[in-house]
Amino acid sequence: MKIDLKIPNLGEAEDTEIIEVAISKGEKIKKNDPLIVLESEKAAMEVPADYDGVIISVLVKEGESVSEGKIFATLEVNDAPIDKDESQPEKIKVEDQVVQVKKEAQQKDKKFTENLQIFGGINSGPAVRKISRELGIDLTKIKGTGKNGFITKDDVKNFIQSLSETKPQEYAELSDLENFGDFTLENQSKIRKAGAKNLYNSWSSIPHVTHFEEVDVTNLEKHRKILNDVSKNKISLLAYIVKACSIVLLKRPIINSTLVGDGKLMLKKYVNIGIAVNTDQGLIVPVIRNVEELNLGQISEKINELADKARRKILMEKDLKGATFTISSLGAIGGTGFTPIINPPEVGILGVSRSKKVLQLLNNETTERLITPLALSYDHRVVNGVDAGEFMQEVKYLMENYHND
Distances (CA, A) of 201 to 94, 188, 258, 341, 345: 48, 18, 16, 10, 12
Sequence-separated (6 or more) residues with CB below 8 Å from residue 246: 271, 273, 291, 292
d(CA 311, CA 277) in angstroms, rounded, equals 8
Distance CA 196, CA 198 (A): 6
Region of 234 on the Ramachandran plot (φ > 0 left; ψ -120 to 50 alpha; else beta): beta
Q: Which residues contact 310 (CB under 8 A, 6 or more apart)?
A: 43, 277, 279, 284, 286
Question: 350-376 as b/e, with b when 16 or more CB fall inside 10 Å?
Answer: bbbbebeeeeeeeeeeeeeebebbbbb
Beta bridge partners of 16: 66
Active site residues: 380
Is the CB of residue 174 less than 8 Å from the CB of residue 305?
no
Q: Say if CB 45 and CB 316 are below 8 A apart.
A: yes
Exposure string of 83-93, with b = 16+ CB inside 10 Å and e = fewer, is eeeeeeeeeee
Q: What's the CA gap between 73 and 24, in Å, rounded?
A: 9
Pairing of strands 325-329, 71-76: unpaired
370 vs 352: CA distance, rounded Å: 14
Give dist(CA 129, CA 150) in Å, integer: 12
